[in-house]
Amino acid sequence: MKVQTQHHVPVLQTARLVLEPASPVRANTLANFYRRNQAFHGPWEPTRPQDWATAPRQRGVLQACQKAMEQGNRAVWLLFAQNRGEANVSGAASVAGAADAGEKGAAAATKPDATAQVLGRIALSNIVRGAFHSAHLSYSMDEAHARKGLATEALEAIVAWAFGPANLHRIEANLISENTASKNLVRKLGFRCEGVSPDYLRIGGRWRDHEHWVRLNAEWKES
């Protein structure tokens, strides 16, 4: 049975988060996110241009993201707290996943306002169809909101969309071997390590080994 593959990148909602497709209107708040987290993200990310954490640079990055999403090559979300008070982010919550949030989830939250703080960024990049139907996963969280289960909550919603409406067969996350927290996160989400690539990416001025963590869609259907 063939299915209709969805290329449109939707707003996703969970119990505590709104996952908003990346847009140039968020350039200022995304630049603030990178400024706040330079030290926190530094050990795990490539060296960025000096103007990376500025609104003009991020406006250009987001414009490129938007174009790639329109072409079906990427899906990028910015994470915001549900507009029901900041305390809602810190408490325990169950996931109202992307596949079943429905009208109840839509009614429970409103669109984050222009000054809302970005809590994280998650991307599915290098989306390839044809015989592959695969994407690369990357994510980063705000240090002040790390270790609260928000990344797990957001990624569960994104995987549900990727393996449901988007009909991807494979998602791969490439993680620095020493990044124990990220490895524990993707393991909890059902990813498995397929091996290690020596000197895979240049991070912090030196080449770093990366582990390939993969999750397959057992329910994939031909589109």
CATH label of the domain that carries residue 171: 3.40.630.30
Q: Which domain holds residue 62?
A: 12-216
80 CB neighbour count, 10 Å cutoff: 23
| 145: its two tokens | 């909101």
Residue 96 has pLDDT above 70, yes or no: no
Q: Kindly report, residue by residue over 177-187, the tens digit of the pLDDT.
A: 999 999 999 99
Q: Kindly report, residue by residue over 109-148, the tens digit of the pLDDT.
A: 457 777 799 999 999 999 999 999 999 999 999 999 999 9
Q: Kindly report, residue by residue over 158-170, the tens digit of the pLDDT.
A: 999 999 999 999 9
Query: Is the residue at 1 inside a domain?
Result: no
pLDDT at res. 79: 97
Q: Across the chain, what does the average pLDDT equal? A: 86
Percent of the chain's residues with pLDDT above 90: 73
Query: Is the residue at 109 inside a domain?
Result: yes
Residue 91 has pLDDT above 60, yes or no: no
Query: Is the residue at 2 inside a domain?
Result: no
What is the 3 state secondary structure string of the chain? CCCCCCCCCCCEECCCEEEEECCHHHHHHHHHHHHHCHHHHHHHCCCCCCCCCCHHHHHHHHHHHHHHHHCCCCEEEEEEECCCCCHHHHCCCCCCCCCCCHHHHHHHCCCCCCCCCCCEEEEEEEEECCCCCEEEEEEEECHHHCCCCHHHHHHHHHHHHHHCCCCCCEEEEEEECCCHHHHHHHHHCCCEEEEEEEEEEEECCEEEEEEEEEEECCCCCCC
**Domains identified in the chain, total number:** 1
Pair 169, 133: CB distance under 8 Å: yes
Query: Is the residue at 222 inside a domain?
Result: no
Query: Is the residue at 199 inside a domain?
Result: yes
Range with the poorest average pLDDT among 45-49, 54-58, 147-151, 183-187: 45-49
Strand partners, 21: 77
Query: Is the residue at 44 inside a domain?
Result: yes
- The pTM score is 0.85
Q: CA triplet 74, 75, 76: central angle to 5 degrees?
A: 115
Query: Is the residue at 5 inside a domain?
Result: no
pLDDT at res. 223: 76
Q: Kindly report, residue by residue over 11-43, the tens digit of the pLDDT.
A: 999 999 999 999 999 999 999 999 999 999 988
Q: Give the C-alpha separation, 134 to 65, whole Å.
A: 18
Amino acid at site 15: A
pLDDT at res. 205: 85
Query: Is the residue at 23 inside a domain?
Result: yes
Q: Kindly report, residue by residue over 72-82, the tens digit of the pLDDT.
A: 999 999 999 98
> Quick one: 210 exposed, middle or buried, by C-beta within 10 A (0-12, 13-18, 19+)?
buried
